[in-house]
Structure 1
Amino acid sequence: MTSWSAQWMEALEGLPLEDDAKARRIRQGRATASSGRVQELNTSPGRLTARVQGGRPTPYLVAVDVPQLSNEEWAIIVDILATQVRLCARLLAGQEPEELADLAKEQGVDLIPSIADVTFIAGHGPDEEIPTVGVAVWAAMGQVLRQDPYPLLRVRGRARERLLHEISVARGRSGAPDGIPLSTLSPVGWTRARGTFEAVYFPSPTLATRQAPSLAALGDPQGWAGAMSALDLFGTMIEAASTHAEQLLDDQESTASP
């Protein structure tokens, strides 16, 4: 599984240029983006725009036109997110839903655009078919996608609010549960034990492992918006609790031994 950022950058390998020219253009574009010379990068449905500082005092005005996905293609993506709770939860938390691009591709939808379908426009820029400043804007977008998945979704045709609304509608249509009503929850037991330790049943001497695999497999809960993942935040506590529980069990067995 490859990150969206990496897939976005790999798309540059499809530039219709000779190998040497392509390698040079990619290298120069990435260097321009890495040096911070791509400014005011904006995304809108079907277009990236930015100012790129080149070898002259006035920045180049650059646009990159990216084809939007059709409503039918978006319906496939929305259906995946509506039925895959873990992916939807990561998206709600502003994190990349890792498998989404691969799952969509299996159904014939390419979330990452092909470079052959992209148009580079450099106002007053270099007189070349694939301008280096255009590649720099593409590379800057790749950097953004390391931290935020929504710019890709926006440029492909769905802003955050619309996408989340469509997911909600799809979940309601499919009968997917929206969660547990708050009125049914009780705070009893959150801060104090509901029974004695002796009443706790251990099905086997093997307790949860120190690596908290269940939490790692489940991923962040729906609506998670923490800067850290749930595993990073609670993993240490789970490991400590597991160690303590094992110690209590060992002490109990030692006391029971003749």
Structure 2
Amino acid sequence: MVVYPRDLVPLTHTFFNTLYKHYRNETPDTTWDLKLHLSVELLRCVLHHSKHKTIETHQKFSSGTLFTVPSSILIHKTTVPETSRSQAEDILAGLLSGQEENIGWRWREDPMRQKPLKAEWIEEKKRKQSCDVDRVILYVHGGAYCVGSPAQSRFLVNKVVRAAGARAFSVDYRLAPQSPFPAAVIDALAAYLYLIQPPANSGLTPINPSNIVIMGDSAGGGLSLAVMLILRDAGLPQPAACVCWSPWVDLYHSLPSVLENSATDYLPN
């Protein structure tokens, strides 16, 4: 999401209009407090006015962080080895056997494939002395499959890491429309394979799948579920759990909830 000075006029109007409605008890849901009411309405306003901007503009903006993380948090940038992504491609190709023509493009020849698959570790400094089990959260960020980044999700992941007493591995998967399906799925799967079966020269000790939780929000939740289905169908070791925050899995918007929940959804129709 990108906010320009000209967007401040509708945002200001939305802010005061929401205040007025809230104190007149005109909230979409009676359980909402003022903070939630303002957050939903302002976010909906920003998203509505952002539709006139290019996807490249949104991608550039979402590649950075919106909030700073506490000094007690360590961030270590790394890359997922090429062998892990090749392994993920082979696994998916086997599951898609006979259906690759329906995908509509030669996904193994994606020009973006030449770029390394970046990721980052996030953990608390004090955890290194206090934790005897290496619990890992594989975090897959949201962003409608076309925007977002680990950097933009750091503030949220930081809270999860602190609450769980674990460290997080956040993957910077390829985005559409430059890299359509199945690019993002491959990259998310590659990150998981790297954690449980790292190459001998990678410097990473294999992590027991029972100590891994795959987690994602929105599009990241959808990708997390996709990875779980691949692991099941391919007979691969599955993680301890999969946590999905409002996962986007109905890509066709075919279910009635799209309309039934429109009054309380921060996503504009």
Q: TM-score, normalised by structure 2?
A: 0.22
Larger gyration radius, structure 1 or structure 2? 1
More strand by share: 2
Q: TM-score, normalised by structure 1?
A: 0.22
